[in-house]
């Protein structure tokens, strides 16, 4: 793995690659800097926003990579920029209610903003500045979920003390269908990859999940008797064959989209007795003059006991690019990454680090898992090739975030106030 020089950034959560992979946009206080992803030394554009502290609070690219917006919710303002036309600019302000969230529409020609108190969802056109449409009483917590082909938007709404999902056409934003939910306070929803079903889940106090088809019929209501608290994560497999529901108890309920019944319940436990690869990070002896701590991964002897507890930084449940693998990190064992084979629902690998995992993400194009723990290293796991770590040349860097380039060629490695590009090379193997 090769690393670029370090560059400034103000908020690790705002670093975003363009969908075509050409650029990476980062915020530096009130400025948005767009760099070339292959050669980050080359600055493509710099945009100066009118925001005061806390400056830029959201950055998001349009799907066609032509535009990127910045948002300051403290100032109730969204600005749209065109990296290939630095003279063009669009400013969005809501004179009635403060803007609290923004999102692109799939056509890249409209920006959606949620107002405070869930009063309305506003649809702003980049073509006609006077055109604006509204969706009344949206639930910002549940947000909006777009159909895979972008033709429809599902918006969670509440009216007359009941939750609904409004399905809107993204062409003219008219209501196409309204789906009634049997939930107390819907917290989220996900459209299936095939666009035929919507999964919605209830408040965190109860594990209640509803699966509806686009006609409004409830295909299945899921409420495990021993589930405890509610749904924390909901993830579809890329093929749409499975949907994983993660609870606050750390268990993962895997549902089949054919029967809408649980085909497996994955429950990470600290005692490992079955044969599997368990990679444990160990600290190497430190020389008196060494400026950094060096570590490596060793295979543990089975049976073994994993360490529990510690401050949790990240809860993660994610399918690999081809859907054959599933990884998870939960709060009870924040130093452990679990990887399961989806076909057999068996553990493929367990990775235990010295410090709690802060970020864990799959490559968008292959089964390569990258994670970080706040050390000056990037960790990489590949099936049948084991787990390795790559040290960043700057020992003072504490990696707290990783963002993959959509083309899978590299990633942005993020630390407090700094970032570097990292590139995976076939010629480079860790020692």
What does the pLDDT average to over 181-205?
A: 94
What's the pLDDT score for residue 123?
96
| Residue 428: per-residue pLDDT | 47
Q: Is the pTM of this model over 0.85?
A: yes
Q: Could you tell me the CA-to-CA distances from 347 to 187, 319, 331, 334 in Å, in that order?
A: 30, 14, 19, 17
| Residue from 42, 32, 30 nearest 5 by CA | 42
Confidence of residue 228 (pLDDT cuts 50, 70, 90): confident
DSSP string, 243-257: EEEEETTS-EEEEET
Return the pLDDT at 62: 98
Average pLDDT over residues 44-65: 96
Distance CA 97, CA 115 (A): 6
Look at residue 105 and tell me whether its pLDDT is greater than 50.
yes
Q: What are phi and psi of 14, to 5 degrees?
A: -100, -5
pLDDT computed for residue 170 by the predictor = 95
Asked whether the predicted pLDDT for residue 311 surpasses 90, the reply is no
For residue 97, the model assigns a pLDDT of 86
- Does residue 134 sit in helix, strand or coil? strand
Residue pLDDT, tens place only, 250-288: 899 999 999 999 999 999 999 999 999 999 999 998 775
Is residue 415's pLDDT more than 90?
Answer: yes
Residue with tokens 């649980």: 262
Query: CB-based contacts of 41: which residues, under 8 Å, 6+ apart?
Result: 4, 5, 35
Cβ contact 325:342 at 8 Å: yes
**Is it the case that residue 396 has pLDDT exceeding 90?**
no
Segment 231-244 shows an average pLDDT of: 95
pLDDT tier for residue 421 given thresholds of 50, 70 and 90: very high
Give me the percent of the chain exceeding a pLDDT of 70: 97
Percent share of the chain, pLDDT over 90: 81
Neighbours of 231 (CB within 10 A): 24
Has residue 30 got a pLDDT over 70? Answer: yes
């Amino acid at each position: 793995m090769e690393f670029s020089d370090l560059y400034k950034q103000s908020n690790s959560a705002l670093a975003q690659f363009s969908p075509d992979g050409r650029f990476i946009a980062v915020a530096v206080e009130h400025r948005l800097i767009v760099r070339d992803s292959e050669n980050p030394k080359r600055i493509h554009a710099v945009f100066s926003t009118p925001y005061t502290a806390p400056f830029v609070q959201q950055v998001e690219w349009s799907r066609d990579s032509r535009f990127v917006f910045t948002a300051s919710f403290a100032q109730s303002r969204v600005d749209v920029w065109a990296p290939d036309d630095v003279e063009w600019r669009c400013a969005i302000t809501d004179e009635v209610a403060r803007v609290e969230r923004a999102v692109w529409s799939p056509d890249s020609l409209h920006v959606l903003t949620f107002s405070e108190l869930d009063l309305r969802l506003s649809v702003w056109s980049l073509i006609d500045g006077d055109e604006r449409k509204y969706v009344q009483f949206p639930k910002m917590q549940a947000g909006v979920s777009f159909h895979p082909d972008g033709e429809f938007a599902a918006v969670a709404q509440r009216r007359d003390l009941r939750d609904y999902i409004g399905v809107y056409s993204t062409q003219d934003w008219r209501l196409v269908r309204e789906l009634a939910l049997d939930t107390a306070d819907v917290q989220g929803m996900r459209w299936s990859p095939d666009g035929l079903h919507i999964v919605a889940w209830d408040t965190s106090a109860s594990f209640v999940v509803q699966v509806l088809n686009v006609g409004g019929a409830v295909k299945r209501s899921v409420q495990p008797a021993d589930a405890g608290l509610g749904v924390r994560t909901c993830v579809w497999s890329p093929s749409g064959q499975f949907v994983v529901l993660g609870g606050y108890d750390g268990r993962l309920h895997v549902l089949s989209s054919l029967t809408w019944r649980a085909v497996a319940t994955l429950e990470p436990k600290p005692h490992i007795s079955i044969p599997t690869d368990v990679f444990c990070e160990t600290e190497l002896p430190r020389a008196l003059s060494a400026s950094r701590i060096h570590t490596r991964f060793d295979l543990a002897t089975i049976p073994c006991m994993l360490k529990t507890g510690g401050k949790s930084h990240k809860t993660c449940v994610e399918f690999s690019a081809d859907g054959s693998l599933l990884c998870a990190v939960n709060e009870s064992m924040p130093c452990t990454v679990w990887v399961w084979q989806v076909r057999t629902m068996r553990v493929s690998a367990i990775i235990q680090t010295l410090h709690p995992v802060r970020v864990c993400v799959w490559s968008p194009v292959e089964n390569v898992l990258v994670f970080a723990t706040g050390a000056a290293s990037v960790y990489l796991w590949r099936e049948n090739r084991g787990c390795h770590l790559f040290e960043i040349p700057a020992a003072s860097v504490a990696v707290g975030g990783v963002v993959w380039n959509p083309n899978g060629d590299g990633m942005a490695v993020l630390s407090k106030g700094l970032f570097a590009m990292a590139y995976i090379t076939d010629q480079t193997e860790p020692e």
